[in-house]
Amino acid sequence: MTHMYKQDRSRRTIDIVYVTAHVDVTQTPFCVAVDHSRSRIVVAIRGTISMQDILTDLNAEAEIIPISKPREDWLGHKGMVQAAVYIRNKLKEEGILKEAIEKSTEGMKGDEEAGFQGEGQGAYPLVLVGHSLGAGTAVILAILMREEFPDLEAFVYSPPGGLLSLSAAKYTQEFCTSVILGKDVVARIGLSQMEVLRADLLNVLTRSRETKVE
């Protein structure tokens, strides 16, 4: 499903280039917009809502991030790596990102004609945003796309714990900003923590003198 809103350029609004609510395991809903007020192309990725999203979350084994020259020490959450690859392929194969770039170029020309000062020649920079599952997917998508868009940025809210290996996480410090509210458990729990919790629960149940139904 694609929506295109054409509004008065002098109002410096937003063109929504693409929106999809399609969801499946490792196929996460997202949208693409051109924000003329901030001169950015934005890819926003939805967080966990459906059962398919939960199954993507639970697919938490490590997988090598498939950049052009893969590194064995760059590992990511398997479900979110696959979701990021799905979105990257959609953006490229269906011409979604190309359309957004064309819209941003038109916007820059309109700025020049209206007397606005832009940030230089070419298209607007790319910004990726997401929450929870969408946050983890956005981080990995940023890694995948940074070779082509070296000036991209990612702003992610409550990214899951255990998302990346240490070396990959250090690499993202250059272009990713994570926001975590208070004691949010999502950002502090990963597969290893779940395994420890499982072992602790089994230990308590084994040693407990109370019946399991009380």
**Residue 203: per-residue pLDDT:** 85
Is residue 213 in some structural domain?
no
Closest by CA to 136, choosing from 33, 63, 35, 193, is 63
Is residue 212 in some structural domain?
no
Q: Which residues of 46-57 are buried (b: 16+ CB within 10 A; e: fewer)?
A: bbbeeebbeebb
**Residue 106: per-residue pLDDT:** 83
Is residue 167 in some structural domain?
yes
| Full residue range of the structural domain in which residue 40 is found | 9-207
Contacts (Cβ under 8 Å, ≥6 apart) of 55: 25, 79
- Which parts of the chain have pLDDT scores under 70? 1-12, 107-122, 194, 212-214
Active site residues: 132, 184
Find the helix or strand (DSSP H, E) in which 167 lies. Answer: helix 166-172
State the pTM of this model: 0.82
Is residue 26 in some structural domain?
yes
Is residue 1 in some structural domain?
no
Is residue 3 in some structural domain?
no
CATH number of the domain enclosing 82: 3.40.50.1820
Taking the C-alpha atoms of residue 197 and residue 40, their distance in angstroms, rounded to an integer, is: 42
Is residue 2 in some structural domain?
no
**Residue 111: per-residue pLDDT:** 54
**Residue 186: per-residue pLDDT:** 81
As given in the structure block, the two tokens for residue 104 are 């941003």
Contacts (Cβ under 8 Å, ≥6 apart) of 186: 132, 158, 160, 161
User: Number of structural domains, the chain?
Assistant: 1
